[in-house]
Amino acid sequence: MTVLIIGSGLVGTQIARLEVEREERPVVMELQPQRDAMAQLVDLDRIELVQGDVLDPFALARAIQEYNVTRIVHTAANPLLTAGAQRDPLPAIRLNVMGTTHVLEAARIFKMERVVFCSSSVLYSSMNPAVDSGTAYTEEALPRPSTIYATTKLAAENLGLNYARWYGLDFVAVRYSAVYGPWNGRGGGGEPSQLMRQLVEKALKGEEAVYRDRPSEMVYSKDAALGTALACHATGLKSRVFNITSGAIFQPDQLVRELKRVVPNARLKREEVPPDWMAAGRPPQPMDLTRARAELGYEPQFPLPKALADYVAWIRQHPPAP
């Protein structure tokens, strides 16, 4: 079995690490590989790193044929996710929708065993009770997304589900909450992920670090990778969409308490939530993990205290470049 991982950022590199730990040699395809950042998380001598663009179907075909790929994990997404897509919609739509279509079509033609698509909890946070249906925060919710990024993720999911229905492609989508964790390269998730990264890095430097006064649901990158790897290799699946998250919502005071536990001298400042953040609403409950636990055997390994301790230890070992 050879897994092609498309995208080598915050989560993709962690998935590659897990494949290496399984004694596999994954193929990682990236438009602009950040070798130094990747090497801090995975042994590059134990992966195949291919420079290629998911918007180029021939690059996908070459990688699949050259390395005898049997499964694909598609992690690539537009820079800054929701904020980036709102700012510059056309490239986000092209990458998230057409890029995923290229993956699905290549998988159909080359008869892949499975495609795992990395989706997002923005499908829940953008739900409007007046027009949407289903139980929020469960995989069967039926949202009508209110942002460009969420719209592209739902479109990509639906394309995958239709490839499964009409062409027999084994398609699975995993929906992450906001991801944070070790990564010293460019990018590294959307706005919540970047804010968490800045908070931890500034706290370690002794600089004033700002946190937002709002409840949050996030998932550590190692847990996001674990859930994705389980979705890639699980057998006997009955479902095609799975929530992957920490299973808990943390309050601002909990974040402050836990960060000061590992960085006692942290200088933290509370920031009022801007009005545009309130538009999505505060999460009333965490994403439901019942299905992921039952079918994937997924259980979060990094609750907030353990995640922050691990993250801080990693940054101390790999301080970001100025």
| Structural domain includes residue 83 | yes
| Structural domain includes residue 210 | no
Mean pLDDT of all residues in 83-87: 92
Strand-pair partners of 118: 174
pTM score: 0.95
Is the four-CA dihedral 181, 186, 190, 195 of positive or negative sign?
positive
For the domain that residue 102 is a member of, what is the CATH number?
A: 3.40.50.720
pLDDT at 135: 73
Dmax (CA) of the chain: 58
Q: Specify the number of domains making up the chain.
A: 1
pLDDT at 276: 56
Domain that holds residue 72: 3-180+220-246+284-300
- Which has the higher per-residue pLDDT, 127 or 75? 75
| Structural domain includes residue 317 | no
Are the CB atoms for 96 and 158 separated by under 8 Å? no
Give, for 194, the enclosing helix (H) or strand (E): helix 191-205
As a whole number of angstroms, the distance between CA 267 and CA 287 comes to 31
| Structural domain includes residue 276 | no
Instruction: Give one word for 97, left, alpha or beta, with left for phi > 0 and alpha for psi -120 to 50.
Output: alpha
pLDDT at 278: 40
Percent of the chain beyond pLDDT 70?
94
Mean residue pLDDT across the chain: 93
Percent of the chain beyond pLDDT 90?
80
**pLDDT per position as a tens digit, 266-322:** 999 998 876 654 444 445 689 999 999 999 999 999 999 999 999 999 999 999 877
| Structural domain includes residue 311 | no
Return the DSSP state at 216: B
pLDDT at 69: 98
| Structural domain includes residue 318 | no
Question: Tokens 């009333």 sit at which residue?
Answer: 284
**pLDDT per position as a tens digit, 189-217:** 988 899 999 999 999 999 999 898 888 89
As a whole number of angstroms, the distance between CA 308 and CA 135 comes to 31
With 0-12 / 13-18 / 19 or more C-beta atoms within 10 angstroms meaning exposed / middle / buried, residue 253 is exposed
| Structural domain includes residue 197 | no
Pairing of strands 3-6, 208-212: unpaired
Q: What are phi and psi of 306, to 5 degrees?
A: -70, -40
pLDDT at 131: 58
**pLDDT per position as a tens digit, 229-245:** 999 999 999 999 999 99
pLDDT at 277: 47
| Structural domain includes residue 169 | yes
CA 254, 290, 123: angle at the middle one, nearest 5?
70
**pLDDT per position as a tens digit, 86-137:** 999 999 999 999 999 999 999 999 999 999 999 999 988 766 665 566 677 8
